[in-house]
Amino acid sequence: MSRIDDLQTAYERFISLPWNKSVAGPQRVWFCLYDPRDERSLLLSLGNFEIATTAAGHTWKKYDLSNTFGEWLAQHEYRDTYFEHPEFIDDAAGEFIDQLVGTLKAWIQPADDNTVVALTGISSLFGITRVSELVEQIAPHIRGRLMVFFPGHRDKDNYRLLDARDGWNYLAIPIESEVSQS
């Protein structure tokens, strides 16, 4: 059994458990952790996560972040300057995250308390903004559950995106493969 197959099995068990509807926003966040090397395998298997979700009686809503920065940059009035001087992009990263948070809030607003809102493409934010910033800003607006497909690892409550950035301590509920990640 592959790591992704095992992750799907763990998710199937997890999604079938009853939900406590009265938990706070940060407690509604799940991190579905997988080895960054398994990104393509995971993307090919996303349909199985949706099937497991609907089989457990929940609604599935997925948002792919993969192209969000490129699309934002392509529309930006200073895009040519940013291409000529990429060091200036750091100054605009806050503007990007604000717009992304606004877009996500509007997108998740119709999702009810029985919906799993799944975020994919998190790795595309690496070097632009911290995933923790994004999660902390949208978690209070989730009525169901927010599942972040997270390419990285954790040590207790410390999550490391792509195993390259210093991690952060977050109280998300981890869903992990039991198959060795070495």
Q: pLDDT by residue for the chain (182 residues), tens digit each?
A: 688 999 999 999 999 999 988 888 788 999 999 999 999 999 999 999 999 999 999 999 999 999 998 888 888 777 677 777 777 777 777 888 999 999 999 999 999 999 999 999 998 888 888 888 889 899 999 999 999 999 988 877 777 777 775 555 567 788 888 765 44
Does a structural domain hold residue 22? no
Q: Which of 115, 129, 124 is nearest to 150 (CA)?
A: 124
pLDDT at residue 8, rounded to an integer: 94
Does a structural domain hold residue 21? no
Q: Which of 163, 165, 169 is nearest to 135 (CA)?
A: 169
Count how many Cα atoms sit within 13 Å of the Cα of residue 101 in the half-sphere of its side chain. Answer: 19
pLDDT at residue 182, rounded to an integer: 46
Q: Which of 182, 127, 130, 128 is nearest to 153 (CA)?
A: 182
Does a structural domain hold residue 181? no
pTM assigned to the model: 0.87
Does a structural domain hold residue 9? yes
Does a structural domain hold residue 41? yes
Does a structural domain hold residue 182? no
Does a structural domain hold residue 67? yes
How many domains, the chain?
Answer: 1
Range of the domain at 48: 3-16+27-176
Does a structural domain hold residue 168? yes
pLDDT at residue 168, rounded to an integer: 59
Pairing of strands 145-155, 158-161: antiparallel
pLDDT at residue 85, rounded to an integer: 78
